[in-house]
Amino acid sequence: MFFILGTILGMSFEVSLWFSALVAYAVVIPITLLFLHYDGDLSSIRRMLRLETPKKAALLLAGIPLIVTIMDLILNLIYGFAYIGAFGEPSPPDIGVTWESSTLSIVLVLLSTVIIGPIAEELMFRGYVLDSIRKIHGDVLGIILSALLFGMIHFDPYTVGMATLGGVLYGYIRVKTGSLWPSVVSHMIWNAMAMVVTYL
């Protein structure tokens, strides 16, 4: 809908596309909070986002995400070699934006992919989905199933595997720390690196 509106208003294809993505991600956040509210579990998000002391904030916002990102890189290198060995060299999906694109396109893709996207996805998958599954099936199945669902929304076969691996790491850290911050920051770092290295 926003893509069509953007096109009608004279926005370029890529600006319309990434404006739509940004709006879609922004809509996911209140919808997820609404799900949590109706489940009677909105307080869990407050607990997941609490930063009690500066020391804990530094650990959750910098220390753990750095370690998780290194682990994610190692796992994805192994996965990448295995994937290439089994299926050949993957081609990254075309996101329609390069360094030669308009400044607005680059800003929109970075905002949606590096800032709003990770917040929306972590709130949904490591917040709502993970905890919903954990209540019935426990931590291990909660981590695995939420990671698989997270992986599947990425569509591209190679990216599905990468996202699933990241989802397992993020889910494990979320369960162990009780905080959503390490997975949000790790996800932002990962997406930023992927965008700059692969696409821009």
pLDDT tens, the chain, 200 aa long: 555 665 666 667 778 888 888 899 999 999 998 888 887 767 788 888 899 899 999 999 999 999 999 999 999 999 999 999 999 998 877 777 777 888 888 888 899 999 999 999 999 999 999 999 999 999 999 999 999 999 999 988 999 999 999 999 999 999 999 999 999 999 999 999 988 887 65
- Whether the full predicted model's pTM is greater than 0.85, yes or no, is yes
**pLDDT score for 126:** 95
**pLDDT score for 4:** 64
Sheet strands (E) in the chain: none
What tokens were used for 132? 């919903």
Report long-range pairs for 149-153 (Cβ below 8 Å, ≥24 apart).
149/125, 150/121, 150/125, 153/121
* Phi, psi torsion values for 179, nearest 5 degrees: -115, 145
The upper half-sphere exposure of residue 10, i.e. CA atoms within 13 Å in the direction of its Cβ, equals 0
Tell me how far CA of residue 64 lies from CA of 2, 40, 41, 95, 197, in angstroms. 37, 30, 26, 30, 23
**pLDDT score for 200:** 55
